Amino acid sequence: MSMTTIAPEQVNSIIRNQHQDPFEILGSHQIEKDGKKVWVVRAYLPNASAAWVVLPEERKEQEMQSVHDPQFFECIIDTQELTNYQIKVKEGDSERVFYDPYAFRSPKLTEFDLHLFNEGNHHRIYEKLGAHSTEIKGVKGVYFAVWAPNARNVSVLGDFNNWDGRKHQMRKSSDVGVWELFIPELQVGEHYKYEIKNAAGHIYEKSDPYGFAQEVRPKTASIVTDLDTYQWDDRDWMEKRRHTDQLSAPISVYEVHLGSWLHAGTNEPHKLPNGEVEPVVAVSELKTGARFLTYRELAEKLIPYVKELGYTHIEMLPIAEHPFDGSWGYQVTGYYAPTSRFGSPEDFMYFVDQCHKNEIGVIVDWVPGHFPKDGHGLAFFDGTHLYEHADPRKGEHKEWGTLVFNYARHEVRNFLTANALFWFDKYHIDGIRVDAVASMLYLDYCREPGEWVTNEYGGRENLEAVEFIRSVNHLIFSYFPGSLSIAEESTSWPMVSWPTYTGGLGFNLKWNMGWMHDMLDYFSMDPWFRQFHQNNLTFSMWYHHSENFMLALSHDEVVHGKSNIIGKMPGDRWQKLANVRCLFGFMFAHPGKKTMFMSMEFGQWSEWNVWADLEWNLLQFEPHQQLKTFFQDLNQLYRSQPSLYTQDFEEPGFEWIDCSDNRHSVVSFIRRDKNSEDFIVAVCNFTPQPHSHYRIGVQQPGFYTELFNSDAREYGGSNMGNLGGKWTDNWSMHNQQYSLDLCLPPLGVLILKLDRNKTAEVIKQE
């Protein structure tokens, strides 16, 4: 039966993929014919030689006719209602039956959703955009939605349509620029992309910006994923976190790159029944057959290791999907997808769940400052500069070869804001460390004069980025109290870790980059010269209370020719190891939370190599075993002494005893507990010269137990110390009535604590 209800140009707009609302042409439409209302069903079916409309409830088929094109079919159905029809097609020698996507018009995005997204305030937009398994009109399938406002057309591509963009053309649902389509009968696990055409008809095949999973590199398709099937078992941890003041809690972070901590198929360390470490063979490069550990294997190996060492948190270099292993994860293409290198999203949920069961928090590095130019990613997404600035003076980091997000655009800001919340919501992470904050704050970051544009007031501050950062942090702590938001900010920008209501950026911690540089400069010099650089040890306390600082010795300090920590130290091997113990002993006694990179805990000699394992073979040698024991005991001491963490950021929590003894390169200070009268005394000798009678002043008389000595024999030290502790003398020193006569070990850190019970008992006897 010939039809006259559709014009050739309308058919051509579908065939040429030029119609922004294919629902106007395709699918079922009620029309009037011969004074009677009937239904017409139209379908564009490339590769089909014949087609029929199937009415399952009536158990009948009606043949469709070609109209204006051999693959454009339609037919009139004389019925009052037409619901849940199917289409049968003949393609070559095969036939198949499917539900017509264009029969499902119910949008998942409401007008309110679009309004919130358009103004940048849809905090759960990841539940609307992207690919979502759902059910419409009793038919299960997958709903796709993508923001591409400047595209001429958008189609869904996948294995299910042979990656043919003609078959599943999407509808532009609003002026906001969101395209959507429900494809019935698709299931979780389908691979897909978006085919996007710009005004000139140029085609871009893009992964889903909101996709929850991607194929393993080098493939780049997104994967339909359901994130709500995993059964979490961390309710107690999450409830405890809600009521925890992180600033007065112990935070000792083990920073790890999952891809190079250990590989499967290589020799790896494990303990023999007698507690000794079995000798293993060094792995300098990946061996044939080596592969990444999965998230579940990492849960079995990494979590017990970190727990044994006593760290409170694991911080992972970015685990969002990225195409190049050598980028360490900092060039992200899938912001909503944990990298498939190590397994599925559910596998990563299991890893986090197991961390929480073992009382270990999870911090993820987050990269909202820039993104790579890979063709399947966000760059030039809809044929225009959508996520990035069009002006390269604003939109490109030439030093990194990456693009800068346009924080002034509401939808881009919404993409990033919701992404930060997403990791807390769906994956129960406990914190983020925001990478390269300085690159976001300054318009002239790594740019020469003439290569950047001022803000509206003529300044160098990126005002839109500042407001974005404040908004993200405000929302994180509003939705997820007890969480961490840590800034890697390398400049003197004020109030980075102050609350937003005071005008701060809203982070609750900031990496202390100044302390890091001062310490590494100081420890790299020959101890004789340290007497002239006492300021390196003391300067941090001049500004410490301006921010909530985290002391970090991170991955950045052990790559690119910088040597590993032990390699930076002067002297012979014994002195190098003693210097490492001295550095970290001072670090854990100093106010501020702690972060250190993997391999430092056992004294790896070589730089971190992203392509290889850590040098686990070193643990067959006693000095490296002893260093690992040192870190176990140091973490145990730190977590057991509230004086070392409850007042990290309050002035009463720290007091110098003597910071001016540069002749001996010794400093001594007090750390006080916030909730009791307890305090500890730290004395640090930064030279190989021991001091048998070194006197420091203390406020209270009694017996001071030596809680910790970095020069102990079990750590590989010379075992000089104070035989378990010292009684005070009535000898005034450092403006105090009492003093301690101590033996300071070479390159050693002593931690002492007043034993109130023993002191009281002796006083009572007297």
Structure tokens at 332: 């992200």
Q: Which residues pair with 164 in a beta bridge?
A: none
Residue 488 annotated in active site: yes
- Chain centroid offset of residue 323 CA: 16
Q: Is the alpha carbon torsion for 173, 177, 178, 181 positive or negative?
A: positive
Residue in 349, 297, 294, 345 with CA at minimum distance from that of residue 321: 345
Beta bridge partners of 97: 88
Instruction: Say what the alpha-carbon torsion angle 71, 76, 80, 83 is, to the nearest 10 degrees.
Output: -10
**Alpha-carbon distance 747 to 736, whole Å?**
26
Residues ≥6 apart with Cβ < 8 Å to 557:
516, 520, 565, 597
Cα distance between residue 29 and residue 417, in whole Å: 40
226 CB burial (10 A radius; 0-12, 13-18, 19+): middle
Beta partners for residue 95, in sequence order:
90
Run of H or E including 513: helix 513-524
- Residue 260, amino acid: S
**Gap between the Cα atoms of 44 and 326, Å rounded:** 45
Separation CA 507–CA 486 (nearest Å): 6
Q: In what order do the strands lie in the sheet with 703-709?
A: 654-661, 666-672, 679-685, 748-754, 703-709, 725-727
Burial class (CB in 10 A: 0-12, 13-18, 19+), 326: exposed
What does the alpha-carbon distance between residue 612 and residue 650 come to, in Å, rounded to a whole number? 42
- Confirm if 741 and 695 have CB atoms less than 8 A apart: yes
Q: Angle at CA 322, nearest 5°, toward 316 and 327?
A: 70
CB 395 within 8 A of CB 102: no
Q: Report the alpha-carbon distance of residue 416 to residue 397 in Å, rounded.
A: 18
Phi and psi torsions of 649, nearest 5° = -120, 15
Query: Judging by beta carbons within 10 Å of its beta carbon (0-12, 13-18, 19+), is residue 10 exposed, middle or buried?
Result: middle
Dist. CA 669–CA 683, nearest whole Å: 7
Catalytic residue, chosen from 113, 255, 411, 488, is: 488
Angle, CA 664 vertex, CA 659 and CA 665 arms, to 5°: 55
> Measured between alpha carbons, how far is 398 from 416 in angstroms, rounded to an integer?
22
Residues in the chain: 766
Choose, from 100, 435, 658, 711, the residue flagged as catalytic: 435
Residue 271 exposed, middle or buried by CB count within 10 Å (0-12, 13-18, 19+): exposed
Q: Do β-strands 593-597 and 252-256 pair in parallel, antiparallel, or remain unpaired?
A: parallel
Is 706 part of the annotated catalytic residue set?
no
Enumerate the active-site residues: 435, 488
